Structure 1
Amino acid sequence: MTVDVDILVPTRNRQVELATTLAGLAAQSYQDFRVFVSDQSDGAPSYATSPAESMARVLRRGGREVHFTRHLPRRGLAEHRQYLLDQATAQYVLFLDDDVWLEPGAVARMREAIGSLGCGFVGAAPQGLSYVDDVRPDALAYYEEWAESVVPERMSRENPDWWRSMLNAAANPYHLEQKLGLRPGEWRAYKIAWVGGCVMFDRQALVDCGGFDFWPSLPDEHAGEDVGAQWRVMARYGGAGVLPTGAVHLESPTTVPNREVEVTEVVSEFR
């Protein structure tokens, strides 16, 4: 089956959250996609629940393929993402975390944005809506739109633009949307340091940049693999955030408590 977007969902120990994520996908207005869910749970797979299976049935009834797989043993986040990328064949791939719910127009908006901008990826930063009353003007001050085309940028933690990462924390995306006052159907592309949780890549651009092939140099316990892959693509093809995001973080406890090894701090090409 040929589709425009492959949606790639790595999951571990997230039964309730995964079902919620799949419910968001089942309600998307854009439907030219497949879903690949790869599980590394300690016990039963996250997808082995009646709610997850029900949402898969809804997706399949609408003509969208859903593939559930187990990928063991665990070799770390980067290897897991690389495994999912290797399954994909569509022009675009959406890496979606297993604790993110998407509003019905989110995938359509990201697909429109990446097609219009012609860059390597676009990200929809998940909003933490428990912070909706926590307005952070200092963080919002880093907001800067791409006035015309998106251009390549080299990013590092020493780059002054690294502080753009604050834009996507807490409920900052929500507050930016409110400030912009966008009309229905409008969206804006803005400059980023990276985006977590919901990122659509031009698949060939990601592959050309090596994807997550730095994984063999990492211990099994690590974090920041998504940052590294995005920096690779940003340097050659550019990347952008998109508002409105249409993405909501479920704010469950992390399944990656050990963050002592950050990819961009230990892999030489990012330092």
Structure 2
Amino acid sequence: MSHRTTAATSPERENHVPKLSVVVPMHNVEAFAESTLRSLAANAHPDFEFLLVDDCSTDATPWVIDRWAEKLPGARVIRHETNRGIAQARNSGIDAAEGEFVTFLDGDDWYGPRHLAGMVRAMEDLGCDFARTDHVQATGTERVIRRPPAAVRNAVMDPRDGITPADTETMVDYPFVWAGIYRRHLFDDGGMRFVTELRTAEDRLWIWRLHLTARTYASLGLHGVFYRRGVATSLTQIKDDRQLDFIPAYDALLRDVREDREADRFLLKAVRTYCAMIAFHIGKVNEYEPAAAQRLRRETRAALQRMPEQALEETLKTIDSTRSRLLSRLRDGRKAA
């Protein structure tokens, strides 16, 4: 058995189908777990359940989880016997979820009061498959509101219209899965699971697949989820080869788009986004561990060489000259950085 689930269930909650399931993956977040779980308590509701997924933490995180699970209404604890990564932690929560809606919160982030009730209310009013929200980026004591680049707010739209245009920041460039709420039917029959082989960039592929799969969505003017930026334990801060998982993530995306009924509509956006990710990582290659840096140069060159040629050439012609020059040199085997 790869994981086990425990619950603190009162008799009146038995046989009760919750309205919302909140999936909270946690791994070695002892410094932040208290504030995260306290924020869940501030959002507790008889119709909400909280799935606390301990991904085999080796610090005090399990102790903090157990202490809060005893007093947090609707809490269920899922424990992985081995560390399996955030993608599997989210999937374990999805598999256990019973709510009509599902949302996610990372173990080092937190909610403002009544944020969850606001999301549920908006989903019931709009009736769409999923909705994305603003979030508050917290860097030390600084707070900045980040908004999804949607065309309109609080209106139902076609998710496919949120993918393009290629040369503009769009909804697929807002990869924060925890800044959203999703109807349970999207996950039926094993659908919309995170790719467990990806240690990073799993969210970027997931968001693209969400926009290609769902029928309706909305962007909500809510900003009650707080994203703790620059945390040392965050996977965004690592400098080893786990960061290179964006390459298989975007390779999988290109395969999806090529097989899509509207491949011609989305292929340029997919290639352009892949190129932007390559340029971003190559631009900071000297920060990486030596072996990871060498592998990054080698594998991104190969990625550029296997991209659809016409879409790649169009991208190199239309992006800024700095990135175009860097990517061209990398593709041709010249020194890129």
Q: Distance in 1 between matches of 2:154 and 2:119?
A: 18
> In the alignment, is the contact (CA less than 8 A) between 1:212 and 1:225 conserved in 2?
no
Q: Distance in 2 between matches of 1:85 and 1:156?
A: 25
Matched to 2:21, the amino acid is D
> In the alignment, is the contact (CA less than 8 A) between 2:135 and 2:147 conserved in 1?
no
Partner in structure 2 of residue 253 of structure 1: 232
Q: Distance in 2 between matches of 1:227 and 1:149?
A: 22
After TM superposition, give the deviation of residue 30 of structure 1 in Å.
4.2
Partner in structure 2 of residue 203 of structure 1: 184
Q: Distance in 2 between matches of 1:128 and 1:223?
A: 19
Find the partner of 2:70 among 46, 51, 57.
57
Structure 1 gaps of 5+ residues are: 166-190
Q: Deviations over 1:5-53 (max 9, x none)?
A: 111111111023222111111012644111111112441462313xx44
Structure label with greater radius of gyration: 2
Which range moved further: 98-107 or 259-268?
A: 259-268
Q: Deviations over 1:193-218 (max 9, x none)?
A: 44343432101123368222643xx2
Q: Distance in 1 between matches of 2:164 and 2:150?
A: 18
Partner in structure 2 of residue 37 of structure 1: 52
After TM superposition, give the deviation of residue 67 of structure 1 in Å.
1.4
Q: Distance in 1 between matches of 2:104 and 2:144?
A: 28
User: How many residue pairs end up in the alignment?
Assistant: 233
Partner in structure 2 of residue 269 of structure 1: 256
> In the alignment, is the contact (CA less than 8 A) between 1:28 and 1:106 conserved in 2?
yes
Q: Distance in 1 between matches of 2:200 and 2:127?
A: 28
> In the alignment, is the contact (CA less than 8 A) between 1:143 and 1:164 conserved in 2?
yes
Matched to 2:178, the amino acid is G
> Secondary structure in 1 aligned to 2:158?
coil
> Secondary structure in 2 aligned to 1:128?
strand
> Secondary structure in 2 aligned to 1:15?
coil
More helix by share: 2
2:35 is aligned with 1:20: yes
Higher relative contact order (CA 8 A, sep 6+): 1
Any residues of structure 2 matched to 1:1-271 within 5 Å, and which?
Answer: 1-28=16-43, 30-44=45-59, 46-49=61-64, 52-59=65-72, 64-130=73-139, 144-146=151-153, 148-153=155-160, 159-161=166-168, 163-164=169-170, 193-207=174-188, 210-212=191-193, 214-215=195-196, 218=197, 222-235=199-212, 236-251=214-229, 252-256=231-235, 257=238, 258-262=242-246, 264-267=249-252, 268-269=255-256
> Secondary structure in 2 aligned to 1:108?
helix
TM-score by length of 1: 0.71
After TM superposition, give the deviation of residue 54 of structure 1 in Å.
4.4
Matched to 2:183, the amino acid is D
Q: Deviations over 1:151-206 (max 9, x none)?
A: 22166698334x246xxxxxxxxxxxxxxxxxxxxxxxxx9744343432101123
> Secondary structure in 2 aligned to 1:74?
coil
After TM superposition, give the deviation of residue 147 of structure 1 in Å.
6.8
> In the alignment, is the contact (CA less than 8 A) between 2:111 and 2:226 conserved in 1?
yes
Matched to 2:41, the amino acid is A
Q: Distance in 2 between matches of 1:155 and 1:87?
A: 30
Q: Distance in 1 between matches of 2:137 and 2:249?
A: 25
> In the alignment, is the contact (CA less than 8 A) between 1:155 and 1:193 conserved in 2?
no
Matched to 2:193, the amino acid is F
Could you say if the C-alpha distance between residues 87 and 58 of structure 1 is closer, same or farther in structure 2, counting changes exceeding 3 Å? same
After TM superposition, give the deviation of residue 238 of structure 1 in Å.
3.5
Could you say if the C-alpha distance between residues 154 and 266 of structure 1 is closer, same or farther in structure 2, counting changes exceeding 3 Å? farther
Could you say if the C-alpha distance between residues 117 and 48 of structure 1 is closer, same or farther in structure 2, counting changes exceeding 3 Å? same
Matched to 2:62, the amino acid is Y
Could you say if the C-alpha distance between residues 141 and 5 of structure 1 is closer, same or farther in structure 2, counting changes exceeding 3 Å? closer
TM-score by length of 2: 0.59
Matched to 2:224, the amino acid is G
Could you say if the C-alpha distance between residues 159 and 209 of structure 1 is closer, same or farther in structure 2, counting changes exceeding 3 Å? farther
> In the alignment, is the contact (CA less than 8 A) between 2:153 and 2:219 conserved in 1?
no
> Secondary structure in 2 aligned to 1:69?
strand
Q: Distance in 2 between matches of 1:237 and 1:5?
A: 20
Q: Distance in 1 between matches of 2:52 and 2:148?
A: 37
Could you say if the C-alpha distance between residues 206 and 155 of structure 1 is closer, same or farther in structure 2, counting changes exceeding 3 Å? farther
